Homo-oligomer: A and B are copies of this chain.
């Protein structure tokens, strides 16, 4: 079943992975353009969580200690990024832009998205085209199953997408295009920032072998890496050459097979459309606070959380408290959580962010009750982190969620915003389109080709404006392009409650039949019965229960 890892490698899909450049830093530069020509980092307590590319020239790394960063770059400017509110907001805008291309968009963290664009590039049978951007690997022998042209077409869509992110939101990004998620993500990281790269299935092994260690493979984390290290498997090559039975022996059949497949660049995991969040939470670490400070902190956290809830729009059903206690031998993360359901009536559906005074007291008392389950409040205690999050929400059925639903079901719907003239005949105008093919991997790549009038105020509600006389065509006018999808199943949707992924894999005629069945069926109201006149006598007596 498993010869060298090549068996079972599905070439049928085309996936784009989009990763924003130094995301938090970009958002801060949009908020304060003065930062653009300076080296700065985003500070969260003791660490620089990310930095702009100018700062990276000094050797600043993500999640570096402030002290170390300052050693490398004494003039480093620090911008506080402990409140993720603005980043989350921008992140959602990014995903919304991507969802205009396909509804099958999966988020990963705040700055990454996978798009399954198979439907957008399928069955074109086109003449060969030149892809946009970088190509990883050898191109002398390419697979002829159809994946090659699809991936090349994918590079055009990726350019579209990145253009749109830039013109609509002012954000630069990287993209990777491949036949699976793993490869798309990894290949996209080979040319940063503000570039895009494709790779074809035959280069997968080479791509994977370029990774420094197995832990660089998405899905292989600390624990798995350590387990593999015990088997003397440290590099991707080690993993490729490992004995599958040995892997299965210690990792189980599931992880064993998966991990080895990954080392060959094989990854059949689907792009799973990300819906509304499963949880909304905030946390704040602190230097060992005691006793009554806890209530204050929690009150503040709750206020902030409620704003996020209001932006989300759903009423939460469950609250969870996270506590980290001071612990000298802090090897393991030692967080503890308690959760409980909350009354949905605590919230005013018209204004989720503001609780009545009494409801706020109630919620806070619920929270403190959770706290007393974690901490023996009779003794003294030292807390180093408090978190609050809501999980589970009342399902919304408003216009918005209905629209969301419709978007999900119409997976074949796509809007292409490619400016064909630009991408075909001449290099993209630096005024509206992030450069790609002319960019090298050196640090000069970081320029942002924004016109002055294109300053996007993050805090202003308006979208960027374009003058008609600009030499860049308006990207907001969506174009219906010329290539037609073959195999279009017009007006066929995945019936509700049906698994969309499964549905998409069904033969077209079966899809059609299922959809027609669904449409035709309508409730017959037969819910009728007649009066009855039969008498019956009331029951009596205490302890009337038939025992057993």
Show the binding face of A for B, using Cβ within 8 Å. Answer: 56, 61-62, 119-120, 126-127, 129-139, 153, 155-157, 159-160, 189-192, 197, 209-212, 216, 252-254, 340-342, 362, 365-366, 369, 394-397, 399, 401-402, 405-406, 408-410, 412-416, 418, 420, 423-425, 427, 436-437, 441, 478, 480-485, 488, 490-491, 493, 495-499, 502-503, 506, 514, 517-518, 521-539, 542-546, 548
Contact = CB atoms under 8 A, between A and B. Distances in A.
What 6 pairs between A and B have smallest CB-CB spacing? Answer: A496-B496, A414-B527, A395-B499, A410-B523, A416-B529, A481-B528
Given A542-B210, A546-B189, A529 B499 contact: no
Given A191-B539, A406-B521, A424-B533, A527 B133 contact: no
Contacts of A133: 536
B130 A534 contact: yes
A524 B506 CA distance: 21
Contact of A135 (B155, B191, B536): B536
Given A531-B126, A544-B190, A496 B499 contact: no
Query: How many copies of the polypeptide does the oligomer hold?
Result: 2
Contacts of A415: 526-527
Given A189-B546, A369-B253, A538-B134, A156 B532 contact: yes
A402 B495 contact: yes
A418 B517 CA distance: 30
Given A191-B546, A252-B369, A539-B190, A160 B529 contact: yes
A223 B92 CA distance: 44
Given A409-B496, A412-B525, 6 more contacts: A155-B532, A252-B340, A395-B498, A402-B517, A425-B533, A437-B534
Contacts of A503: 397
Contacts of A56: 548
B478 A526 contact: yes
A483 B528 contact: yes
Contacts of A210: 542-545
A397 B495 contact: yes
A197 B528 contact: no
A529 B120 contact: yes
B528 A135 contact: no
Nearest to A548: B61
B408 A526 contact: no
Contacts of A130: 532-536
Contacts of A423: 530, 532-534
Contacts of A514: 397, 402
A378 to B, nearest CB: 15
A397 B497 CA distance: 9
Contacts of A129: 531-533
Given A397-B502, A527-B416, A529-B156, A405 B496 contact: yes
Contacts of A211: 545
B134 A527 contact: no
Contacts of A408: 497
A529 to B, nearest CB: 4
Contacts of A192: 546
Given A413-B526, A529-B160, A405 B254 contact: no
A522 B531 CA distance: 44
Given A253-B369, A483-B530, A528-B485, A395 B502 contact: yes
Contacts of A548: 56, 61-62
A529 B482 CA distance: 6
Given A212-B545, A490-B525, A483 B252 contact: no
A382 to B, nearest CB: 25
A342 B522 CA distance: 39
A481 B420 contact: no
Contacts of A155: 532
B401 A498 contact: yes
19 contacts: A62-B548, A120-B529, A129-B533, A133-B536, A135-B539, A138-B538, A156-B530, A159-B532, A210-B545, A405-B495, A405-B497, A413-B525, A414-B525, A427-B534, A436-B536, A437-B535, A481-B530, A484-B528, A490-B525
A93 B156 CA distance: 55
A321 to B, nearest CB: 12
A56 B548 CA distance: 9
Contacts of A493: 523
Nearest to A101: B527
Contact of A499 (B397, B523, B528): B397
Nearest to A253: B366
A528 B416 contact: yes
Nearest to A542: B210
